[in-house]
Chains A and B, each alone.
Chain A
Amino acid sequence: MLEIRDLHAEIEGHEILKGVNLTVRAGEVHSIMGPNGSGKSTLAQVLAGHSAFTVTKGEVLYEGEDLLALPPEERAQKGVFLAFQYPVELPGVGTNYFLRTALNSIRKARGLEDIDAVDFLKLVREKAKFVDLDERLLNRAVNEGFSGGEKKRNEIFQMAVLEPKLAILDETDSGLDIDALRIVSDGVNKLRSPERAVVVVTHYQRLLNYIVPDFVHVLVDGRIVKSGGKELALELESKGYGWIAPANARTNNRPAVASAH
């Protein structure tokens, strides 16, 4: 489904990704872990199409198509979804309207009719319940005045409504209490299916107790330096990242060693 080959990306002249290779097949859940500043969020944002980053080398194929050639909205329309690390507040934009517009633009790209108002309301109610999101939040502006946990749940809620094929979760677990973490994980687990893939970017192993990955990759200084099964995450939890990071990865004065907490 997703094939990342030798991906290099920079922001304002600083190279962040230095040759990432990753293959994700339908039905799989991959976890990307790594210390702060290793490029995890950059990878997520590049996949979603943030214009602040420039891809200098490499390619990304999504269902065989050149993903990097597509504008962000077309990626979304083709089923790519990014749950933001820092969801943006949109004062004055009603959550319901926003979501219906998003859903309809995706449906349109798939050759479907606009969803009618009644069906939409039903769908939204069901999915809100699913992530235990207070329905009243839906009548408010997107993320405005939401708590940190509400914002993260809102991301998962959007994911549940939009039903992407490839979901990328960028540190969705950070700052969540255990209840919220369970809710978010449930949301992701219910989305798991043989046709879908999930890439979970996280700093903490804790999330992976709830979303059990098929593969764990360690990203350090812009490269995946180690890959393994779910037991790799536990090893990282107990030993930290230090034992993994090769000395030559410590360029740019970026600390390659960070504790897991």
Chain B
Amino acid sequence: MDTLTQVQSSYQAQFEQALSRRKRNEPGWLSNIRSRAMDRFSDVGFPTTEDEDWRFTNVDRIGQTPFLASQKPLRIPSPQQCAELVCTENAAACIVFVDGYFSAELSDLKGLSDGVRVTDVAQALVKDGAFLQEHLCRYADTDRDAFVALNAALFGCGAVVHVSPGVIVEKPIHVVFISTASAEATACHPRNLIVAEANSQVAVVESYVAVADSVYFTNAVTEVVAGENAVVEHYMIERDAPSSYNVSTLRVEQHRNSNFASHSILLGGSLVRNNVHPVLNGEGAQSLLNGLYVLGGDQHADNHMRVEHAKPHCDSRQYYKGIMDDESHAVFAGRIIVHKDAQKTDAKQSNMNLLLTDRAQIDTKPQLEIYADDVKCTHGATIGQIDANAVFYLRSRGLSEQDARNLLIYAFVGESLSRMKQESLRLSVEALVLARLPRAGELRESRG
């Protein structure tokens, strides 16, 4: 047996172990989904670069590492440690998972108002079976994506956020995944579900952080349902450990007149794949996909957008920006699919990249599939270095070359930050991004 097959059969073994462990608790509908997903994964295995969707991202490093199922941590971080890792001040609620296990100690779910529920998925399956049956694993496609299939087969943790009709949650809800350094390479498959019913409003922040560096693999799937006229913001703040792998899939189902925004901030990890897949499935739906990736060393980050316009009069906007230093490699693939009925679609896509060295690399690829005849779709990508004329202009006004360059880099990311509506989040994301840039703090007030 080659490594790949060995690894695949180890997932099969993990699946069977989990199956026997869960047998008593898990409803039949979910067991069926899991079995089908496991079969699917066993059939197709991990994708290769032959697969068009994975052309620029080689996942052999994930496929050939025999990851163990993550174990319940012996020591969980202290609340202070947790607070240092993730700023959850000003949160409506905070649900924390450590190495893939729900931590009641670190979570704070007390302050929630009526009409908002935040629970661990395992508990929700027990308490809220009918609701989960309606939504869980109903949107992210296990047939198209082997990682989604593997997640459906194996997930054991994750947050369920349910906002009742008409309820406005003003402060963000934090979902935090902490990895503690373990000696063995482990994998964790979180599955989140966010359902915002009609006329509700909520912002959910998904953060990935690590206590220390180690080799681990996070394979997360988040399904979001934005009900009619609901306003939903999702933040993905990826700050994984330098040796880790993260494959995340965000699948959004948008109903009529819903307004959804996704903000993906990729800062950490060795190999990261960020799939964002909204389906605008009701007239008048709007979708904003805002992304920022700041890479260095030999980091690889792949942003894979799939924006599906299924109904007429929907707008989508994709704005992704990246800064690549050293030998880092970024990928942006933005597919816009306009279905036959989706007349009057207005879809825009922009991907701008700043390469700080000659060795950094970006592959950017727009893909438009349009089956309707009355639509507006535009796309554009730029790849550049810092504008020498702009540097000269700043220097001619007395700024040093380093200050001039930093100011321009910071200005470049400022636009992405300004799209984040939650001010407290915008400020904490800004601080995280600045920490990745030299002479950070002094630039804070520079934005125009």
Q: Which residues of A are interface residues toward B (Cβ below 8 A)?
A: 48-52, 71-73, 75-77, 81-82, 84, 87-88, 90-95, 97-99, 101-103, 105-106, 109, 139-142, 144, 158, 162
Q: Are A90 and B393 in contact (CB under 8 A)?
A: yes
9 new A-B contacts, CB < 8 A, other than A140-B448, A144-B448, are A71-B401, A84-B396, A88-B390, A91-B448, A97-B446, A101-B399, A101-B403, A102-B394, A105-B399
Q: Are A91 and B400 in contact (CB under 8 A)?
A: no
Q: Give A139's nearest chain B residue, CB to CB.
A: B448
Residues of A with C-beta under 8 A to B396: 48-49, 72-73, 75-76, 81-82, 84
Residues of B with C-beta under 8 A to A140: 448
- Of the candidate stretches B130-138, B214-222, B253-261, B408-416, the one touching chain A is B408-416
Q: Are A141 and B448 in contact (CB under 8 A)?
A: yes
Residues of B with C-beta under 8 A to A106: 398
Nearest CB of chain A from residue B411's CB, rounded to whole Å: 3
Classify chain B: how many residues form its interface, as a range: 20 to 34
Asked if B78 is an interface residue, CB under 8 A from chain A, the answer is no
* Bound: A87/B393 CA distance, A: 8
Residues of B with C-beta under 8 A to A109: 398
- 0/1 interface trace, chain B 185-214, chain A, CB 8 Å (1 if under): 000000000000000000000000000000
* Bound: A146/B399 CA distance, A: 22
Q: Are A98 and B408 in contact (CB under 8 A)?
A: no
Nearest CB of chain B from residue A62's CB, rounded to whole Å: 14
Nearest CB of chain B from residue A188's CB, rounded to whole Å: 18
Residues of A with C-beta under 8 A to B415: 91-92
Nearest CB of chain B from residue A9's CB, rounded to whole Å: 15
- 0/1 interface trace, chain B 308-341, chain A, CB 8 Å (1 if under): 0000000000000000000000000000000000
Q: Are A50 and B392 in contact (CB under 8 A)?
A: yes
List which B57-94 residues lie within 8 A (CB) of chain A: none
Residues of B with C-beta under 8 A to A162: 397-398
Q: A88-B389, A97-B445 are in contact. Are A77 and B395 (CB under 8 A)?
A: no
Most chain A CB neighbours (cut-off 10 Å) among B392, B398, B412, B446: B398
Q: Give B387's nearest chain A residue, CB to CB.
A: A88
Q: Are A92 and B448 in contact (CB under 8 A)?
A: yes
Residues of A with C-beta under 8 A to B448: 90-95, 97-98, 139-142, 144
Q: Are B399 and A73 in contact (CB under 8 A)?
A: yes
* Bound: A73/B392 CA distance, A: 9
Q: A84-B393, A88-B387, A94-B446 are in contact. Are A73 and B398 (CB under 8 A)?
A: yes
Q: Give B404's nearest chain A residue, CB to CB.
A: A73
Most chain A CB neighbours (cut-off 10 Å) among B397, B399, B410, B415: B397
Q: Are A93 and B395 in contact (CB under 8 A)?
A: no
Asked if B447 is an interface residue, CB under 8 A from chain A, the answer is yes
Q: A90-B390, A91-B415, A93-B408 are in contact. Are A72 and B395 (CB under 8 A)?
A: yes
Asked if B407 is an interface residue, CB under 8 A from chain A, the answer is yes
Q: Are A77 and B393 in contact (CB under 8 A)?
A: no
* Bound: A99/B410 CA distance, A: 16
Residues of A with C-beta under 8 A to B395: 49, 71-73, 76
* Bound: A84/B395 CA distance, A: 13
Q: Are B401 and A93 in contact (CB under 8 A)?
A: no
Q: Give A52's nearest chain B residue, CB to CB.
A: B388
Q: Are A77 and B446 in contact (CB under 8 A)?
A: no
Residues of A with C-beta under 8 A to B401: 71, 73
Nearest CB of chain A from residue B39's CB, rounded to whole Å: 50
Residues of B with C-beta under 8 A to A88: 387, 389-390, 392-393
Nearest CB of chain B from residue A105's CB, rounded to whole Å: 4
Residues of A with C-beta under 8 A to B410: 92
* Bound: A91/B394 CA distance, A: 13
Residues of A with C-beta under 8 A to B412: 92
Q: Are B447 and A92 in contact (CB under 8 A)?
A: yes
Q: Are A93 and B446 in contact (CB under 8 A)?
A: yes
* Bound: A75/B392 CA distance, A: 12
Q: Give A93's nearest chain B residue, CB to CB.
A: B411
Nearest CB of chain B from residue A91's CB, rounded to whole Å: 6
* Bound: A106/B388 CA distance, A: 21
List which B234-284 residues lie within 8 A (CB) of chain A: none
Q: Give B389's nearest chain A residue, CB to CB.
A: A88
Most chain B CB neighbours (cut-off 10 Å) among A75, A77, A90, A109: A90
Residues of A with C-beta under 8 A to B407: 93, 98, 101
Q: Give B443's nearest chain A residue, CB to CB.
A: A97
Residues of B with C-beta under 8 A to A49: 392, 395-396
* Bound: A99/B445 CA distance, A: 12
Q: Give B392's nearest chain A residue, CB to CB.
A: A50
Q: Give A143's nearest chain B residue, CB to CB.
A: B393
Residues of A with C-beta under 8 A to B411: 90-93, 141
User: What are the 4 closest A-B residue pairs judged by CB atoms, nearest first?
Assistant: A92-B411, A141-B448, A94-B448, A102-B397
User: Quick one: which of A48, A73, A92 contacts B414, CB cutoff 8 A?
Assistant: A92
Nearest CB of chain A from residue B400's CB, rounded to whole Å: 5
- 0/1 interface trace, chain B 429-448, chain A, CB 8 Å (1 if under): 00000000000000001111
Residues of B with C-beta under 8 A to A142: 448
Q: Give B414's nearest chain A residue, CB to CB.
A: A92
User: Quick one: which of B389, B390, B397, B445 contacts A158, CB cutoff 8 A?
Assistant: B397
Q: Give A94's nearest chain B residue, CB to CB.
A: B448
Residues of A with C-beta under 8 A to B394: 90, 98, 102
* Bound: A87/B394 CA distance, A: 11
* Bound: A142/B408 CA distance, A: 11
Q: Give B409's nearest chain A residue, CB to CB.
A: A92
Q: A72-B392, A88-B389 are in contact. Are A105 and B400 (CB under 8 A)?
A: yes
Ordered by A's residue number, 17 sampled pairs between the chains whose C-beta atoms are within 8 Å are A49-B392, A52-B388, A71-B401, A73-B398, A76-B397, A76-B398, A88-B390, A90-B390, A90-B411, A92-B413, A93-B448, A97-B445, A101-B398, A105-B399, A105-B400, A106-B398, A140-B448
Q: Give A103's nearest chain B residue, CB to CB.
A: B398
